[in-house]
């Protein structure tokens, strides 16, 4: 796995080196951050393009894809954000953002039907999960397929997301837009980090994934976001990314803020307040229970920053509006 | 045809001899059993992922008595943990364990089948379907203060059993073999529907799977009201039928000749056991193994007479599930392990050990 990641990074380094070379040769000016978007415009992806997807398969894309089937909600969001939305002809049923994506043909990412995918005649299929041999079967049908793994269990969330955005930019020949998106996201993350520069230690938090008390530990993607916000995760001792905490551990951990990612399934600040034994938890006493859209905190897409900004507002209301 | 043979050997002993043995043995044994059960419950109340000293636990519990206040100096979080989280957990685990065990003993006796457990004719599969349907829906967790998951589980369990019973009916009788087959068929329909719901709501797989494996992490005192109104009357009814269950171990025709209204007794006992199990499952999820193995363990240890098998199964089932739940919250602390995994993983080896120890095989 690590060698595969390395390969991806190598490729990335190559693109950046190329960009730098173009910058130096072209204007002779300094390749400052403001200059980079225009400079990168000169980077034209030349097909056939061979990349390594996140599970290490070598994927060769013959020409700029025009009929993409995206079976990954995160990839769908990214494609639309980098201006490749028009190249998307089909999405999976969880690809609910942006609105425009829902007008595309719908496929199933968890129980994918080979025939249904082939029927939309895609020239590129993006998966975030291969339920066994799907990629190989699609390749046998002559359909180029790339697996962009889920980052749910990747605590280094930001870096992983940027990698995937850049990779999609390359694959679809939207390198410049991808770089611009990454730069915008990085800028907003920097602004948050700057605003929190003097914070030693943030609030104790409990992030509720579901009502049976599954949570997101520091080893998860969501956990990585809380690390950026300097929050103290009360599930820090758990070794799995998504452990089911004992109720008494939550009471003893005394979270100051509770974030509910299960609002769609009937949980709300009121239901939390009504739980016996929870009435003396700081977050309950101080009414600091918030609901967050689970989609934005779990997808390796452009809305990662939105998640971060929303959480920052919940955790530091005095610093963010 | 071992499968449908006699579960017990009660018929091998004359009734009078059995009675005499029982009279000598049951009460002291039951008293010791209850004392052990109380000890287990206190131990479980004192042990958990949050380390609270045993004397603090004792003070918190005693302070609930009127006029006693020993816990004022203790952290509020400890008081909440012991009283609102751990104790309800212990009490409900005990109640569910007792229910599964006496229901299992009843099922095994009525079906005269050693493989019978209280899930045999659809309770578990029906409850699982009901609970899953609510868990994957965007419905609120509770409506008017009534939690929907236990309600749906309870309704699903009773619907499945009622369907199986109706389908197995032949004229005025319900042959047990037909009832088992109908129950198994209904169960597979419900199970496949549950699987479909889980697959098509994949983002909820963890939640539904955890419920299906059973656990007490979300126990609270109010859940007693889901269980007690069904379990108490069922337990009384079944305990009063110990002698009749002994007679039922004979041929059904012979039992009829001895003056037992077999069809009526079967309906009453299966109804009581199913209702109690449905209530237990609705708050705990589907905890496997307890209802199957606890009655066999009791039988191996103290013999097949239902007048002692039923009460002792209750005590052993309660103690066993309380201990299993203690492990569920401590072995992977601060995370939970579904208790159904513990009951099978730890209980089965112990049972096999007993089986080997006692050379007289039950089956």
- Using a CB-CB cut-off of 8 Å, the residues of chain A touching B206 are 209-210, 214, 242
Closest partner residue to B217 (CB to CB) among A246, A264, A279 is A246
List the CATH code of the domain at B2-357: 1.10.3470.10
Among candidate residues A146, A167, A186, the one where a domain is terminated: A186
Q: Is A280 on the interface with B (CB under 8 A)?
A: yes
pLDDT(A190) > 90:
yes
For B82, the closest chain A residue by CA position comes to A248
Q: DSSP assignment of A116-152, as one string?
A: HHHHT--SEEEES--SSSHHHHHHHTT--EEE----T
Q: What is the mean pLDDT of residues A205-224?
A: 93
A and B: number of Cβ contacts within 8 A: 107
Number of domains in chain A: 2
Check residue B170 and report its DSSP letter.
B
* Residue A236 falls inside a structural domain: yes
Q: Is A102 on the interface with B (CB under 8 A)?
A: no
A280, B210: Cβ pair inside 8 Å? no
Cα separation values, A102 from A80, A86, A92, A96, A98, Å? 12, 13, 9, 6, 7
- 10-residue averages of pLDDT along chain B (363 residues): 42 56 77 96 96 94 89 92 96 97 96 91 95 88 80 95 94 90 96 93 87 93 93 97 90 82 92 96 94 93 93 97 96 93 88 76 48
* Residue A126 falls inside a structural domain: yes
* Residue A8 falls inside a structural domain: no
Are residue A172 and residue A277 in the same domain, yes or no? Answer: no
Q: Is A111 on the interface with B (CB under 8 A)?
A: yes
For B326, the closest chain A residue by CA position comes to A246
Higher pLDDT, A28 or A6: A6
| Reported confidence tier of residue A2, pLDDT bands at 50, 70, 90 | very low
B217, A235: Cβ pair inside 8 Å? no
Are residue A57 and residue A162 in the same domain, yes or no? Answer: yes
- Using a CB-CB cut-off of 8 Å, the residues of chain B touching A71 are none
For A281, the closest chain B residue by CA position comes to B77
Q: Is A113 on the interface with B (CB under 8 A)?
A: no
Are residue A124 and residue A207 in the same domain, yes or no? Answer: no
* Residue A155 falls inside a structural domain: yes
Of A112-126, A178-192, B348-362, the least confident: B348-362
Are residue A178 and residue A277 in the same domain, yes or no? Answer: no
d(CA A143, CA A116): 13
Give the alpha-carbon dihedral of B127, B129, B135, B141, to 10 degrees. -40
CATH code, domain carrying A66: 3.40.50.1980
Among candidate residues A186, A221, A250, the one where a domain is terminated: A186
B211, A277: Cβ pair inside 8 Å? no
For A271, the closest chain B residue by CA position comes to B141
- Using a CB-CB cut-off of 8 Å, the residues of chain A touching B80 are 251, 277-280
Q: From the CA of B61, how many Å to the nearest CA of chain A?
A: 15
Structure tokens at B320: 């066993």
* Residue A167 falls inside a structural domain: yes
Closest partner residue to A245 (CB to CB) among B76, B77, B334 is B334
Among candidate residues A186, A214, A233, the one where a domain is terminated: A186
Domain extent for A77: 43-186
Are residue A221 and residue A159 in the same domain, yes or no? Answer: no
Residue A177 phi, psi dihedral angles, 5° rounding: -60, -40
Write the pLDDT tens digit of every residue in A11-47.
Answer: 445 444 444 444 444 333 344 444 444 444 446 788 9
Q: For a pLDDT cut of 90, what percent of chain A falls above it? A: 66
A271, B142: Cβ pair inside 8 Å? yes
Are residue A128 and residue A215 in the same domain, yes or no? Answer: no
d(CA A155, CA B344): 34
Residue A38 is predicted with a pLDDT of 44
- Using a CB-CB cut-off of 8 Å, the residues of chain A touching B215 are 212
pLDDT(A251) > 50:
yes
d(CA B118, CA B234): 13
The phi-psi region of residue B5 (left if phi > 0; otherwise alpha if psi is between -120 and 50; otherwise beta) is beta
| Reported confidence tier of residue A155, pLDDT bands at 50, 70, 90 | confident
Nearest Cα to B41, choosing from B362, B335, B320?
A: B320
Q: Is A293 on the interface with B (CB under 8 A)?
A: no
Are residue A181 and residue A134 in the same domain, yes or no? Answer: yes
Residue A110 is predicted with a pLDDT of 72
**Cα B12 from chain centre:** 29
For A251, the closest chain B residue by CA position comes to B77
Residue B138 is predicted with a pLDDT of 82
Residue A25 is predicted with a pLDDT of 40
A244, B336: Cβ pair inside 8 Å? yes
Domain ranges, ordered by start, for chain B: 2-357
Are residue A162 and residue A213 in the same domain, yes or no? Answer: no
């Amino acid at each position: 796995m690590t060698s595969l990641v390395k390969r991806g990074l190598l490729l990335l380094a190559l693109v950046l080196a190329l960009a730098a070379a173009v910058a130096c040769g072209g204007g002779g000016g300094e390749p400052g951050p403001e200059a980079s978007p225009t400079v990168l415009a000169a980077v034209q992806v030349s097909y056939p393009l061979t990349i390594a997807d996140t599970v290490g398969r070598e994927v060769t894309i013959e020409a700029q894809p025009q009929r993409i089937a995206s079976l990954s909600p995160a990839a769908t969001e990214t494609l639309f954000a980098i201006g490749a939305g028009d190249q998307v002809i089909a999405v999976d049923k969880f690809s609910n953002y942006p609105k425009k994506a829902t007008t595309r043909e719908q496929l199933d990412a968890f129980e994918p039907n080979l025939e249904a995918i082939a029927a939309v005649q895609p020239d590129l299929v993006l998966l975030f999960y291969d339920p066994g041999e799907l990629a190989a079967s699609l390749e046998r049908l002559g359909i180029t397929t790339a697996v962009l793994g889920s980052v749910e269990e990747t605590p280094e969330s930001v870096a992983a997301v940027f990698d995937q955005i850049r990779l999609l930019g390359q694959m679809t020949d939207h390198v410049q837009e991808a770089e611009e998106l990454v730069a915008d996201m990085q800028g907003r993350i920097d602004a948050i980090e700057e605003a929190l520069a003097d914070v030693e230690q943030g609030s104790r938090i409990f992030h509720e994934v579901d009502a049976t008390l599954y949570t997101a530990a520091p080893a998860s993607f969501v956990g990585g976001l809380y690390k950026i916000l300097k929050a103290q995760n009360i599930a820090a001792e758990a070794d799995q990314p998504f452990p089911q905490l004992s109720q008494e551990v939550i009471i003893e951990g005394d979270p100051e803020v509770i974030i509910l990612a299960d609002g769609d399934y009937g949980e709300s600040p009121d239901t939390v307040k009504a739980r016996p034994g929870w009435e003396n938890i700081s977050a309950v006493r101080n009414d600091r229970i918030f609901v967050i859209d689970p989609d934005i905190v779990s997808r390796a897409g452009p809305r990662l920053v939105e998640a971060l900004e929303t959480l920052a507002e919940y955790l530091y209301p005095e610093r963010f509006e | 045809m071992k499968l449908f043979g006699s579960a017990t050997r009660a018929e091998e002993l004359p009734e009078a001899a059995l009675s005499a043995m029982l009279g000598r043995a049951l009460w002291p044994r039951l008293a010791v059993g209850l004392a052990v059960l109380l000890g287990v419950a206190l131990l479980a109340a004192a042990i958990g992922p949050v380390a609270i000293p045993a004397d603090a636990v004792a003070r918190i519990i005693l302070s609930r008595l009127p006029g006693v206040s020993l816990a004022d100096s203790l952290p509020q979080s400890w008081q909440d943990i012991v009283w609102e989280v751990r104790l309800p957990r212990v009490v409900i685990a005990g109640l569910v364990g007792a229910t599964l065990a006496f229901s299992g003993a009843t099922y095994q006796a009525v079906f005269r089948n050693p493989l019978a457990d209280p899930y045999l004719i659809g309770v578990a599969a029906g409850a699982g379907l009901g609970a899953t349907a609510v868990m994957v829906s965007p419905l609120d967790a509770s409506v008017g203060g009534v939690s929907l998951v236990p309600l749906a589980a309870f309704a699903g369990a009773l619907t499945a059993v009622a369907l199986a019973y109706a389908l197995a009916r032949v004229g005025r009788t319900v042959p047990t073999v037909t009832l088992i087959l109908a129950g198994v068929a209904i169960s597979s329909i419900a199970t496949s529907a549950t699987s479909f719901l889980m697959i098509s709501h994949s983002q909820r797989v963890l939640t539904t799977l955890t419920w299906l494996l059973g656990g007490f992490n979300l126990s609270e005192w109010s859940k007693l009201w889901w269980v007690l109104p069904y379990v108490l009357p069922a337990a009384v009814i079944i305990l009063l039928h110990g002698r009749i269950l002994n007679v039922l171990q004979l041929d059904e025709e012979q039992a009829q000749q001895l003056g037992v209204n077999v069809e009526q007794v079967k309906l009453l006992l299966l109804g009581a056991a199913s209702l109690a199990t449905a209530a237990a499952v609705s708050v705990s999820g589907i905890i496997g193994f307890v209802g199957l193995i606890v009655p066999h363990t009791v039988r191996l240890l103290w013999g097949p007479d239902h007048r002692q098998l039923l009460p002792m199964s209750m005590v052993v089932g309660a103690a066993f599930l309380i201990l299993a739940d203690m492990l569920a919250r401590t072995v992977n602390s601060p995370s939970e392990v579904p208790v159904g995994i513990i009951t099978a993983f730890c209980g089965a080896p112990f049972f096999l050990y007993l089986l080997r120890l006692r050379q007289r095989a039950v089956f």
